[in-house]
Amino acid sequence: MNKNTLLSGIIGFVIGIIVFGLVGYFSAAGIMIVEDYSAYNYEETVQKVKDAAAANDWKVPTIHEIDKSVKKAGFNVLPVTVIELCHPKLAGTILEDDDAKVVTSMMPCRLSIYETKDGKVKVSRMNTGLVSKMFGGTVTKVMADATKQSEKIVSSVLQ
């Protein structure tokens, strides 16, 4: 193999790594976050998600009305609600395993419901199915199950 061929190969490899890195960087948000339109208005979407959570044996420990919090600081924004969802059996499985507790900073599961300037309502949440694969073991199993169940809740409002 001559020097030019080797140099061309190295340059091609480095360019490939750079392109791959840039594609990954610019598409990460679209991979890590799932976002869909609701078939309902903002208030109905929030209520239907809460109702679907209860119907599927999930708890709603906290609801954060983000828009109301920032209005107190002088910002006039459209409605944004973050709903925390918890399934005690799934949470308990994570909390029993010391190695799995690394994901407790992502517990409980959260989803965001917000209104856009064009009057549409979106539901946004982390792609927990994808994220779970990075951990393995108990985390992967529990988060995969949580994803299936929480997507059932979300599907109750989607177009």
Q: Is residue 5 part of a domain?
A: no
**Run means of pLDDT, 10 residues per run, the chain, 159 residues:** 70 72 57 92 97 96 95 95 96 94 90 97 91 86 90 91
Question: What one-letter code names the amino acid at 81?
Answer: T
The CATH number covering residue 86 comes to 3.30.310.70
SS3 annotation, the chain: CCHHHHHHHHHHHHHHHHHHHHHHHHHHHHHHEEEEEECCCHHHHHHHHHHHHHHCCCECCCEEEHHHHHHCCCCCCCCEEEEEEECHHHHHHHHCCCCHHHHHHHCCEEEEEEECCCCCEEEEEECHHHHHCCCCHHHHHHHHHHHHHHHHHHHCCEC
Cα separation, 102 vs 21, whole angstroms: 26
Closest C-alpha among 159, 155, 158 to residue 56:
155
Q: Is residue 84 part of a domain?
A: yes
Give the pTM.
0.79
User: What is the extent of the structural domain holding 123?
Assistant: 32-155
In the chain, what is the greatest distance between 2 CA atoms, to the nearest angstrom? Answer: 69
| Residue 27 confidence (pLDDT) | 52
Total structural domains in the chain? 1
Q: Is residue 145 part of a domain?
A: yes
Q: Is residue 21 part of a domain?
A: no
| Residue 108 confidence (pLDDT) | 87
Q: Is residue 37 part of a domain?
A: yes
Cα separation, 147 vs 106, whole angstroms: 13
Q: Is residue 43 part of a domain?
A: yes
Q: Is residue 113 part of a domain?
A: yes
| Residue 110 confidence (pLDDT) | 94
Q: Is residue 116 part of a domain?
A: yes
